[in-house]
């Protein structure tokens, strides 16, 4: 939080020119900043952050849900009460499919239906909730297919090349890939699977990457228990972020929309997440060559490339709905250069509770807004306009911030000075610090 405030003050009060590059501070400005900064820091209360975090994480709040709209109203109400100059709730109707069906059945001598659910843990009351929704990969295509499974390691192009060298056919099969270390975006895995002609892609976290091979699993430690699974989008946001139907312009009620089918960001392959408890049942059925040493995982058997001896019947179905999302944008008007903007943003929507991502950041954002509101009440004004933003549907395809950026494109091009994003501001029990080296430190030295 301290670093966050220091950077924010630096860019809002100190820089004499438009662009914050390598500018040293005068002694007077630095002293003024220090006084403002200490007043801000004295206002920040950890117990407020804890209370806000509890409010944001009390219920699942996926984009498009009633709860996430309620939270948008809550943020707007709080920011008005804190004393921000203008607070708006901005609606964007966007293509936002939700899951309606996800089933996977191994067709052996007796059919075995996989659970595809996270199991409840006695120490965690929230794990008993029944309103967490069907696990899914947002923007997956629909599929109803029966096919053998092949193990594709991380699902990157080099992995498929190795399978081809080994004579393992993937076309028309279901690919089982790991969420990998080093990381590769699941959308890139989906695009690679689509290009290689697989029938569907299943993604799981191997215990070697996130599970008992790393250490104690939840609730005894931080690593994933055997039924945990990771939701996420597979959209090709590297082609186009935001509502797939409005490339380059904002989605507004009554606006112009292209057909979803024409969007360059829409996958044509189906994908879904799976736990290692379920993936194990498939991996145990693999035939074919032994997987290379680097592909071996944490389960207690030798991984093979496949295909699986049993076929998998996989059904993935999502609705094709347009839903309203809600950005909350609050301003503290600049006294000297109101058209120059410093923007502080955090998304609000979560796949489920969002304990770390994004609600730890939301708690920081709320308390920061409160502290600045207090400062304003004491007569202080920023030199440039400060904008606080609570984005919706970031998890889907950076949707809320993209739509707002398109809505405000002209003003942003002319006056956007800096954008500071907070996603997750705290997790775990160890302290780590990162900084933006382009910004000078308070003494004018570069951060390292
Ligand atoms: Zn996030």
If you measure from the C-alpha of residue 258 to the centroid of ligand 1, how many angstroms do you get, rounded to a whole number? 27
If you measure from the C-alpha of residue 237 to the centroid of ligand 1, how many angstroms do you get, rounded to a whole number? 15
Using alpha carbons, list the distances in angstroms from residue 412 to 211, 273, 407, 418: 44, 37, 9, 10
- What lies within 8 Å, CB to CB, of 131 at 6+ separation is 59, 60
If you measure from the C-alpha of residue 347 to the centroid of ligand 1, how many angstroms do you get, rounded to a whole number? 6
If you measure from the C-alpha of residue 44 to the centroid of ligand 1, how many angstroms do you get, rounded to a whole number? 23
Using pLDDT thresholds of 50, 70 and 90, give the confidence band for residue 32.
Answer: confident
Between these two residues, 10 and 387, which has the higher pLDDT value? 387
Mean pLDDT for the stretch of residues 72-94: 98
Evaluated on CA atoms 360, 366, 372, 374, the torsion sign reads negative
Per DSSP, the three-state class of 77 is helix
CA distance 56 to 31: 36
If you measure from the C-alpha of residue 351 to the centroid of ligand 1, how many angstroms do you get, rounded to a whole number? 9
pLDDT > 90: percent of the chain: 83
If you measure from the C-alpha of residue 357 to the centroid of ligand 1, how many angstroms do you get, rounded to a whole number? 5
If you measure from the C-alpha of residue 346 to the centroid of ligand 1, how many angstroms do you get, rounded to a whole number? 8
If you measure from the C-alpha of residue 356 to the centroid of ligand 1, how many angstroms do you get, rounded to a whole number? 8
If you measure from the C-alpha of residue 423 to the centroid of ligand 1, how many angstroms do you get, rounded to a whole number? 5
Q: How does DSSP classify residue 391?
A: E
pLDDT digits (tens, 9 = 90+) for 140-186: 999 999 999 999 999 999 999 999 999 999 999 999 999 977 788 99
If you measure from the C-alpha of residue 363 to the centroid of ligand 1, how many angstroms do you get, rounded to a whole number? 13
Looking at residue 217, its pLDDT comes to 97
If you measure from the C-alpha of residue 358 to the centroid of ligand 1, how many angstroms do you get, rounded to a whole number? 5
Looking at residue 352, its pLDDT comes to 96
Mean pLDDT for the stretch of residues 67-96: 98
If you measure from the C-alpha of residue 344 to the centroid of ligand 1, how many angstroms do you get, rounded to a whole number? 14
DSSP bridge pairs for 342 = 386, 418
pLDDT digits (tens, 9 = 90+) for 398-418: 999 999 999 999 999 999 999
On the question of pLDDT at 23 being above 60, the answer is no
pLDDT digits (tens, 9 = 90+) for 186-215: 999 999 999 999 999 999 999 999 999 999
| The token pair that represents 264 in the structure block | 């360059």
Quickly tell me which residue has 């979560």 as its tokens. 350
Quickly tell me which residue has 């059919």 as its tokens. 111
- What lies within 8 Å, CB to CB, of 172 at 6+ separation is 147, 197, 198, 199
If you measure from the C-alpha of residue 443 to the centroid of ligand 1, how many angstroms do you get, rounded to a whole number? 32
Using pLDDT thresholds of 50, 70 and 90, give the confidence band for residue 433.
Answer: confident
Count how many Cα atoms sit within 13 Å of the Cα of residue 42 in the half-sphere of its side chain: 8
Lowest mean pLDDT among 4-18, 78-92, 287-301, 314-328: 4-18
If you measure from the C-alpha of residue 170 to the centroid of ligand 1, how many angstroms do you get, rounded to a whole number? 33
Task: Tell me the pLDDT of the chain averaged across its residues.
Answer: 91
On the question of pLDDT at 19 being above 60, the answer is no
Between these two residues, 38 and 197, which has the higher pLDDT value? 197
If you measure from the C-alpha of residue 150 to the centroid of ligand 1, how many angstroms do you get, rounded to a whole number? 31
If you measure from the C-alpha of residue 395 to the centroid of ligand 1, how many angstroms do you get, rounded to a whole number? 6
If you measure from the C-alpha of residue 83 to the centroid of ligand 1, how many angstroms do you get, rounded to a whole number? 27
Between these two residues, 32 and 421, which has the higher pLDDT value? 421
Looking at residue 444, its pLDDT comes to 38
If you measure from the C-alpha of residue 424 to the centroid of ligand 1, how many angstroms do you get, rounded to a whole number? 7
If you measure from the C-alpha of residue 390 to the centroid of ligand 1, how many angstroms do you get, rounded to a whole number? 12
Q: At what angle do helices 27-43 and 2-9 cross, to 10 degrees?
A: 140
pTM greater than the 0.85 cutoff? yes
If you measure from the C-alpha of residue 355 to the centroid of ligand 1, how many angstroms do you get, rounded to a whole number? 10
CB 228 within 8 A of CB 124: no
Looking at residue 14, its pLDDT comes to 42
Looking at residue 429, its pLDDT comes to 81
pLDDT digits (tens, 9 = 90+) for 311-334: 999 999 999 999 999 999 999 999
Looking at residue 33, its pLDDT comes to 75
Mean pLDDT for the stretch of residues 368-375: 96
On the question of pLDDT at 55 being above 80, the answer is yes
If you measure from the C-alpha of residue 161 to the centroid of ligand 1, how many angstroms do you get, rounded to a whole number? 33
Nearest to 405 by CA among 240, 279, 270, 290: 240
pLDDT digits (tens, 9 = 90+) for 92-149: 999 999 999 999 999 999 999 999 999 999 999 999 998 899 999 999 999 999 999 9
Quickly tell me which residue has 């919706």 as its tokens. 392
CA distance 28 to 25: 8
Using pLDDT thresholds of 50, 70 and 90, give the confidence band for residue 254.
Answer: very high
């Amino acid at each position: 939080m301290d670093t966050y405030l220091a950077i924010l003050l630096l860019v809002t009060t100190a820089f004499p020119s438009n662009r914050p590059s390598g500018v040293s501070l005068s002694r007077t400005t630095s002293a003024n900043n220090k006084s403002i900064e200490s007043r801000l820091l004295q206002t920040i209360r950890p117990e407020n952050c804890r209370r806000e975090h509890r409010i944001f994480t009390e219920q699942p709040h996926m984009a498009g849900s009633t709860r996430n709209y309620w939270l948008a109203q809550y943020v707007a109400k709080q920011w008005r009460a804190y004393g921000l100059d203008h607070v708006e709730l901005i609606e964007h109707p966007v293509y936002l499919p939700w899951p309606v069906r996800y089933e996977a059945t191994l067709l052996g001598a007796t059919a075995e239906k996989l659970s595809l659910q996270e199991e409840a843990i006695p120490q965690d009351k929230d794990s008993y909730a029944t309103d967490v929704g069907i696990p899914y990969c947002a923007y997956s295509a629909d599929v109803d297919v029966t096919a053998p499974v092949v193990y594709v390691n991380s699902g990157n192009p080099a992995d498929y090349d190795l399978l081809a060298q080994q004579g393992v056919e993937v076309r028309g099969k279901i690919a089982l890939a790991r969420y990998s270390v080093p990381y590769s975006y699941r959308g890139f895995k989906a695009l690679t699977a689509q290009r290689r002609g697989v029938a569907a892609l299943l993604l799981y976290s191997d215990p070697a990457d996130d599970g008992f091979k790393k250490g104690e699993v939840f609730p005894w430690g931080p690593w994933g228990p055997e039924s945990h699974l990771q939701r996420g989008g597979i959209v090709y946001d590297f082609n186009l972020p935001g509502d797939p139907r409005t490339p380059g312009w904002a989605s507004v009620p009554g606006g112009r929309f292209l057909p979803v089918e024409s969007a360059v960001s829409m996958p044509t392959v189906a994908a879904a997440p799976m736990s290692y408890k379920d993936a194990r049942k498939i991996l145990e059925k693999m035939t074919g060559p032994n997987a290379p040493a680097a592909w071996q995982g944490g389960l207690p058997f030798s991984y093979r490339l496949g295909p699986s001896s049993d076929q998998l019947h996989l059904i993935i179905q999502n609705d094709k709905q347009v839903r309203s999302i809600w950005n909350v944008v609050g301003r503290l008007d600049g006294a000297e250069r109101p058209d120059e903007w410093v923007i502080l943003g955090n998304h609000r929507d979560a796949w489920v509770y969002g304990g770390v991502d994004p609600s730890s950041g939301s708690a920081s954002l709320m308390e920061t807004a409160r502290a600045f509101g207090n400062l304003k009440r004491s007569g202080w004004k920023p030199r440039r306009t400060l904008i606080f933003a609570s984005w919706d549907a970031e998890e889907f395809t950076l949707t809320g911030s993209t739509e707002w950026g398109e809505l405000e494109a002209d003003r942003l091009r002319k006056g956007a000075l800096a954008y500071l994003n907070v996603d997750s501001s705290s997790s775990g029990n160890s302290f780590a610090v990162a900084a933006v080296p382009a910004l000078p430190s308070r003494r004018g030295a570069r951060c390292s």
